[in-house]
A and B are shown apart, each in its own frame.
Chain A
Amino acid sequence: MKELLEYMVKELVDNPDEVQITEEEEGDKTVIFKLKVAENDLGKVIGKKGRTANAIRVVMRAASAKRGKSSIVKIID
């Protein structure tokens, strides 16, 4: 799942080298992804009215549902 998040985000930002993702388990079923990107890329992963961040979260929720889990994507600013 981390690979999916990393792949999508790296293709959308200007500074793929500065994409950092940490993965934490909360309980048995929840995975929290903390996403850090370069400051000038924040807008790219959030998008207008948060649409990009929302789409990323929907895709990540789908991926985790398939694996019997739920996921939370936190964008660190």
Chain B
Amino acid sequence: MSDNTSMEEAISKFVESLEEEQKNDKLLESNNIKESYIDEITEDYYEEEIFEENNYDTVDNKEKSEKIKDFIKKVIALVTNSEVSEVNFDETAGKIDVYGRDLGIAIGKNGKNMEAIEYILNLYAKRKDLSEKNLTIDIKDYKKKKYEAIKNIALKMAGKAIKEQKKIILKPMPSYERKIIHDVLSENKEVKTKSKNKEPYRRIIIYPLKEK
């Protein structure tokens, strides 16, 4: 069949062209003009580059995370004169959890010392280009527990405002604590929250909304 002959022809032509290429290759090699190959960008060339870059990136990020963890470990150990037993860094959230015995002084009253350490850590991380995210530190779940406690106060006081149909004035709180209350009660359609007075005496007032 003519198809077969044309196929054979095509194959022999292909083989010929391969042989031709190989000859050319050898010629190029023998003439020491291999250099031209360096500029020739093939798919392999790209793949190799990309692989190397990715590899480099992960190593680099790992190193950055380690530097952040080391900084925190060292600063907290020096402040507390105690040992940090565990540092967990959630890179995607920019959240660092620190655990160890006797770290209370690194938290301080109302988390004040922890806030200062956090501020310095962020300066360090930004300076050394270690993180694009704003980093937060929590020591022995202080913030987590505080969040739960404030959330409970918010729910309890909102209940009281609704039940007694009168506004509830809370004690002064720092901004991040007020934010928790606003956030928690924003879902509640029966109350409204507002802040009053100037820092550091700014406090939240919970108003009951009249029922229909």
**CB of B31 to closest CB in A, whole Å:** 54
Is B81 a contact partner of A8 (Cβ separation < 8 A)? Answer: no
* SS of A interface (majority): helix
* Residues of B with C-beta under 8 A to A66: 79-81, 105
* SS of B interface (majority): helix
**CB of B87 to closest CB in A, whole Å:** 16
Decide yes or no whether B123 CB sits under 8 A from chain A: yes
Instruction: Please report the total number of B residues contacting A with Cβ < 8 Å.
Output: 21
Size class of the A contact interface (CB-based, 8 Å): 20 to 34
CA distance A8 to B127 in the complex (A): 12
CA distance A18 to B73 in the complex (A): 25
Query: What residues of chain A have their CB less than 8 Å away from a CB belonging to chain B?
Result: 1, 3-4, 7-8, 11-12, 47, 51-52, 54-56, 58-59, 62-63, 65-67
Query: What residues of chain B have their CB less than 8 Å away from a CB belonging to chain A?
Result: 71, 74-75, 78-81, 105-106, 108, 112-113, 115-117, 119-120, 123-124, 127-128
